[in-house]
Amino acid sequence: MYEQIARNKRVTFLLIFGFAVLIALVTAAVAVLFDAGAYAVPIAVIVAIAMAWGSYWWSDKVALSVARARPADGPEFQRLHNLVEGLCIAAGLPKPRVYYIVDPAPNAFATGRNPKHAAIAVTTGLLERMNRVELEGVLAHELAHIKNYDILLQTIAVTAVGSVVLISDFALRFMFFGGRRRGSNNDAGGIVGLIIMLVAVVFLIFAPIAAKIMQMSMSRRREYLADASGVLLTRYPPGLISALEKLRDDKAVVNHAPRATEQMWIESPLNEKKDHRGSWLDRAFSTHPPLEDRIAALKEM
């Protein structure tokens, strides 16, 4: 377990570097399209550093804001706080901030940059549908993500993928609908410039795909590990098994869950992924293992 946590930390910083490089390349491509000239490289470096720094410090706030999460402060959330506190004592973790999301779909996610700066958010649908042991199983799964340092990796990926998509989309739309690159195509320099511009356009088209592939490179084994770690924490596999079965059978989708945040949730919140059988393409590009496989793995414990 400790070896896996150390590996997660190493992979996290490698992924931060990889996303920073990708954002720098995307920014450089935009600068080329708008003829920033010698300023392209410093602009790209500054944007990449700013994005990487911002992702580390504020990505959890962005994720909670996008999901429209609210602090779970009322007395109606006392059971939720009691379960989180008990599990944190058992796991030796500081208690994370607890949020709720007004949404009928049962789901939950954890976010943050480390166990001392973490948060758990659950939907009202989860609170309504899960009994005590099932809710405990879900919370233990999310606390396992915190303890295993999966949360930083997931949250930074959300911010970075979103940034790449937004920058690429803005640049392409601006170029095709009125934006023009200065410079002439009447000489050899102009031809070289045109080739560079075409390369930049192709890169901007495929950059979001590259970002998504990097996001999916974070092995789905993290979900299996979080399931196993959560069960070790509760000492009661049937609780999480029953919770996953309810998630499998429920077809409701989370209203405020952009595609970039898919990997953060305990199961995919997207509409097209609610058919848990899915096509081979869905399985190949899914951020989560099929719930049936996760349930089967837990039943073998």
Q: What is the pLDDT of residue 274?
A: 53
pLDDT in tens, 115-157: 999 999 999 999 999 999 999 999 999 999 999 888 877 767 7
Q: Crossing angle of helices 221-234/237-249, nearest 10°?
A: 130
Task: Give all strands (DSSP E) within 12-146, no chain letters.
Answer: 70-71, 97-101, 108-114, 117-123
CA–CA dist 265, 283 (Å, integer): 17
Given a cut of 90, whether residue 213 has pLDDT beyond it is no
At residue 157, what is the residue type?
A
CA–CA dist 34, 181 (Å, integer): 5
Beta partners for residue 70, in sequence order: 100
pLDDT score of 100: 97
Per residue in 41-95, pLDDT (tens digit) is: 676 667 767 776 776 788 788 889 989 999 999 899 999 999 999 999 999 999 9
Q: What is the pLDDT of residue 15?
A: 72
Domains of the chain: 2-65+154-216 (no CATH), 68-151+220-299 (3.30.2010.10)
What pLDDT digit, counting tens, does each position of 16-28 carry? 777 778 877 887 7
State the greatest distance between any 2 C-alpha atoms of the chain, in Å, as a whole number. Answer: 73
Asked whether 200 and 32 are in contact (CB, 8 A), the reply is: yes
Number of H helices, E strands in the chain: 11, 4
Question: Which residues are annotated as catalytic?
Answer: 142
